[in-house]
Amino acid sequence: MRFLVHRLLHSIFLLVGISLLSFAFLELAPGNFFDEMRLNPQISHDTLVHLEKQYGLDHSFAERYLAWVRSAVKGDWGVSFAYGSPVAPLIWTRARNTLLLTGLAMLLSWMIALPVGLLGAAERGRWLDNFFSLGTSLLLVTPDLLLALGLLWLALRTHWFPAGGMQSLSSSSAHADKLKDVAFHLMAPVAILVLGGLPVLVRHIRAAAIDALQQPCIRAARSHGISRVRILFRHGLPLAAAPLVSLFGFSLASLLSASLLVEVVMSWPGLGPLLLEAILARDVYLVIGAVMLAALFLAGGMLITDCLLFAADPRIRTEKLA
Amino acid sequence: MKISIQARMLGVMLLGLHLIVFFAGFFAPYETSLQNRDLPFAPPAHIHFLDIQGKIHPRPLVCVLVERSDAFAEYFEDRGHCFPVRFLVRGAPYKLFGLMRSNVHLFGVDAPATIFLMGTDAYGRDVFSRFLYGGQISLFAGLIATVLTLVLGALLGTLAGYYGGWLDAGIMRGAELFLALPWLYFLIAVRAFLPLSLSPKDAFVMLIAVIGFVGWARPARLIRAVVLSSREHHYVLAARLFGASDMYLMRRHILPDTYSILLTQAVLLIPQYVLAEVTLSFLGLGAGEPTPSWGSMLSTLQQYSVLVSYWWMLIPGLVLVPVFFGYVLLASELQSGRKTAAS
Q: Taking residues B126-148, what's their average pLDDT?
A: 90
Q: Which of A30-34, A179-183, B133-137 has the highest mean pLDDT?
A: B133-137
Least CA distance to A157: which residue of chain B? B308
Which uninterrupted H or E stretch holds B101?
strand B100-109
B328 touches chain A (CB under 8 A): yes
- Fill in the amino acid letter for A7: R
Q: Give A249-270 pLDDT, tens digit per residue.
A: 888 877 777 788 888 888 888 8
On whether the CB atoms of residues A285 and A81 are closer than 8 A, the answer is yes
The number of beta carbons lying within 10 Å of the beta carbon of residue A71 is: 17
Distance from CA of A78 to the nearest CA of B (A): 16
B290 touches chain A (CB under 8 A): no
Instruction: Give the whole-angstrom CA distance, residue A206 versus residue A112.
Output: 13
Question: Is this complex scored with an ipTM above 0.90?
Answer: no
DSSP state of A43: S
B303 touches chain A (CB under 8 A): no
Q: Give A147-178 pLDDT, tens digit per residue.
A: 988 888 888 888 887 777 777 766 566 777 77
Instruction: Give the whole-angstrom CA distance, residue B260 versus residue B266.
Output: 10
- Fill in the amino acid letter for B237: L
B192 vs B42, which has greater pLDDT? Answer: B42
- Between B177, B189, B282, which is nearest A291 by CB? B189
Whole-number pLDDT of residue B343: 53
**Strands across the sheet with B48-50, in order?**
B48-50, B56-67, B75-96, B100-109
**Average pLDDT over all residues of chain A:** 82
Cβ burial A92-120 (10 Å sphere, 16+ → b, else e): eebbebbbbbbebbbebbbebbbebbbbb
Phi and psi of A266, rounded to 5°?
-90, 15
Measured CA distances, A107 to A58, A120, A251 (Å): 47, 20, 10
pLDDT of B137 above 50: yes
Can you give B178-227 as a three-state secondary structure string? HHHCCHHHHHHHHHHCCCCCCCHHHHHHHHHHHHHHHCCHHHHHHHHHHH
pLDDT of A322 above 50: no
Q: Taking residues A4-17, what's their average pLDDT?
A: 84
**Taking CA B179 as the corner, what is the angle to CA B177 and CA B182, rounded to the nearest 5 degrees?**
95
Contact A275 B188 (CB under 8 A): yes
- Between B182, B196, B298, which is nearest A298 by CB? B182
Whole-number pLDDT of residue A321: 45
A81 vs A9, which has greater pLDDT? Answer: A9
* Sequence-separated (6 or more) residues with CB below 8 Å from residue B30: B91, B92, B125, B126, B129
On whether the CB atoms of residues A145 and B282 are closer than 8 A, the answer is yes
On whether the CB atoms of residues B58 and B116 are closer than 8 A, the answer is no
Instruction: Give the whole-angstrom CA distance, residue B11 versus residue B16.
Output: 9
The number of beta carbons lying within 10 Å of the beta carbon of residue B203 is: 24
Q: Taking residues A107-118, what's their average pLDDT?
A: 92
Q: Is the peptide bond before B290 cis (omega within 30 degrees of 0)?
A: yes
Whole-number pLDDT of residue A36: 65
Which uninterrupted H or E stretch holds B90?
strand B75-96
Q: Taking residues B176-189, what's their average pLDDT?
A: 72
- Between B180, B188, B285, which is nearest A299 by CB? B180
Distance from CA of A227 to the nearest CA of B (A): 33
On whether the CB atoms of residues A312 and A242 are closer than 8 A, the answer is yes
Distance from CA of B194 to the nearest CA of A (A): 6
**Beta bridge mates, B83:** B62
On whether the CB atoms of residues B12 and B20 are closer than 8 A, the answer is no
Contact A257 B185 (CB under 8 A): yes
* Sequence-separated (6 or more) residues with CB below 8 Å from residue B217: B153, B174, B175, B176, B177, B178, B179
On whether the CB atoms of residues B259 and B337 are closer than 8 A, the answer is no
Q: Taking residues B35-41, what's their average pLDDT?
A: 81
Measured CA distances, A86 to A72, A164, B175 (Å): 10, 28, 32
- Between A18, A153, A287, which is nearest B308 by CB? A153
Contact B304 A260 (CB under 8 A): no
Interface test with B, best of A260, A274, A287, A303 (most B CBs within 10 A): A260
Contact B177 A145 (CB under 8 A): no
Residues within 8 A of B (CB atoms), A 24-43 only: 25-26, 28-31
What is the number of alpha carbons within 13 Å of residue B111 lying toward its C-beta? 0
Q: How many CB pairs under 8 A join A and B?
A: 116
What is the number of alpha carbons within 13 Å of residue A240 lying toward its C-beta? 26
Measured CA distances, A173 to A28, A169, A181, A271 (Å): 47, 11, 10, 24
Whole-number pLDDT of residue B9: 82
Q: Taking residues B50-63, what's their average pLDDT?
A: 78
A134 touches chain B (CB under 8 A): no
DSSP per position, A163-203: -S-SS-TT--S-HHHHHHHHHHHHHHHHHHHHHHHHHHHHH
Whole-number pLDDT of residue A170: 65
DSSP state of B299: G
On whether the CB atoms of residues A291 and B182 are closer than 8 A, the answer is yes
Task: Classify A58 as helix, strand or coil.
Answer: coil
Whole-number pLDDT of residue B97: 66
**Beta bridge mates, B67:** B75
Least CA distance to B273: which residue of chain A? A143
Q: Give B82-106 pLDDT, tens digit per residue.
A: 778 888 878 778 877 667 777 778 8
